[in-house]
Amino acid sequence: MDEYSIASIVIPQIFDNRFSILCNNYDYYGIFFISGPGIKNAKIIDVAPTILHLFNISIPDNIDGRVLTECFEEDSKLAKREIVFQDIEKIEKLKDKIKRLKKEQKI
pLDDT tens by residue, 44-94: 899 999 999 998 999 999 999 999 988 888 888 988 999 999 998 888 899
Same domain as 94, residue 47: yes
pTM score: 0.60
Output phi, psi for 60, to 5 deg.
-55, 135
Same domain as 87, residue 55: yes
What is the C-alpha separation between 53 and 78, in angstroms, rounded?
A: 8
Same domain as 65, residue 85: yes
Range of the domain at 20: 1-31
Same domain as 99, residue 72: yes
Same domain as 12, residue 45: no
pLDDT of residue 80: 93
- Our count of domains for the chain comes to 2
